[in-house]
Amino acid sequence: MLILITYDVNTQTEAGRRRLRKVAKQCVNYGQRVQNSVFECQMDAAKCREVKAILENIIDKDVDSLRFYYIGDKYKNKVEHIGAKPGFDVKDPLIF
């Protein structure tokens, strides 16, 4: 099923910027980056629990957040993209 992961990581500190890099690095193991803080992941419930546990351990829940959107299997007509296509390098600092 298609699951969307979006995140906000507070990058005002060096520790925050490190968390952001870690979150992004983990997410690429589970899905495709479609925007800077948005990943689309094709995964089952078990994989989703796995990545959720990993990400929960990385973020600072007082200042960062994660959102999971369970889009389901029939998503072809549920997603629309306008503008630049993503071309992110996961080694980039990912901050802008």
Residue 6 binds a second copy (CB under 8 A): yes
Residue 54 binds a second copy (CB under 8 A): no
Residue 41 binds a second copy (CB under 8 A): no
**Is 8 assigned a ligand-binding role in the annotation?**
yes
**Residue 38, strand partner residues:** 6, 35
CB-based contact 8:61 (threshold 8 Å):
no
Residue 49 binds a second copy (CB under 8 A): no
Q: 55-84 mask for a second copy (x: CB under 8 A)?
A: xx--xxxxxxxxxxxxxx----xxxxxxxx
Residue 43 binds a second copy (CB under 8 A): no
Residue with tokens 């007509």: 77
Task: Report angle CA 71, 72, 77 to the nearest 5 degrees.
Answer: 70
Burial of residue 27 (CB within 10 Å: 0-12, 13-18, 19+) is buried
Which residues define the annotated binding site for Mg(2+)? 8
Where does this chain bind a second copy (CB under 8 A)?
4, 6-8, 10-12, 34-38, 52, 55-56, 59-72, 77-86, 95-96
